[in-house]
Amino acid sequence: MDKSDIISLPNPHLRQRSRKVSVISDEIKQLVKDMEQATLSWEDSRQHEVGVALAAVQVDCLDRLVIIRNNFNDKADRSFQVYLNPKITKKFGDIVEDYEGCLSIKDTYGKVARHSKIKVLAKNLQGKEVRLTAEGFLARVFQHEIDHTNGIVFVDHIKDSAEAFYTLKDDGKLEKKDYQKDIKNNKSLWE
């Protein structure tokens, strides 16, 4: 797989709930490899962005499976952790607004409010239970990706917030989008 296999809005599958992964089959293991390749291919085509994470639905596979980059700050580290059937068991800490982008939403970033700390329960690719507490950016990434498994994309959280939408300019800086013109009735975002 490569970046062309990543689906984007208005594909209706992005707003469908993913099904639980019951068996860690060879197909699931291959899906993980495909997702990693697609994420890295996407990243390699972007000067100012990092492929941080991906949910299986983003490659048009409705399995509850998420991959998250091991090191967000080092593009040379191209390794990921795998989380099967991830769910948030507790949200706590402060509610923090910060910028989010998505490999499945072209040219749109948003300022989204999320909890600063969460507890996550999942399984790894070996079928072992994983429990962890995520803070800061990692907590945001988990919330964003678990939303994907539930058919929610980040723009759904800020749909009516005229000040929350941005675009990435060629110089790597974010610029506010015109909500009335670019967002409010944008059929690719809201159909």
Indicate which residues carry an active-site annotation: 145
Q: In the numeric block, which tokens belong to residue 25?
A: 């089959």
Note whether 164 and 158 are within 8 A (CB).
Answer: yes
Q: Say whether 45 sits in a helix, a strand or coil.
A: coil
Backbone φ, ψ for residue 117 (5° rounding): -140, 140
Three-state DSSP class for 180?
Answer: helix
Closest C-alpha to 111, from 177, 182, 188, 185: 177
